[in-house]
Structure 1
Amino acid sequence: MSTDKHTTNRLVIVRNTILPEVFIHGTREGFLELLNWLGNPVDMLPCNCE
């Protein structure tokens, strides 16, 4: 028997203090979610429709 858990794909963005670089740490799924959101952020907003 298995239990499915809803997990949030988190990304951590880290800025390098010495070099002008930004590192993104996370899962592939989280990164793909970010790309999807950047492509169409309006669809990702919570809807309070009735």
Structure 2
Amino acid sequence: MIPELYIVLFLGNIQLSNRANVQLYCFLFMCMVIVWEFYNYLLGLRIL
């Protein structure tokens, strides 16, 4: 994915003191990774 997005999420997790916010960031991060992988999978099917 976009390297800048990884960095922003990583720094955001460090700066957040609330544990619930960290869990929310991790959840959103995993969702974005899953969506990105699924998108690449669909692109692969379309190319083949």
TM range (shorter): 0.3 to 0.5
- Which structure has more RCO (C-alpha within 8 Å, separation ≥ 6)? 2
Which one has a larger percent helix, Structure 1 or Structure 2?
2
TM-score (norm: length of structure 1): 0.32
Which structure's CA Rg is the greater one? 1
TM-score (norm: length of structure 2): 0.33
Which one has a larger percent strand, Structure 1 or Structure 2?
1
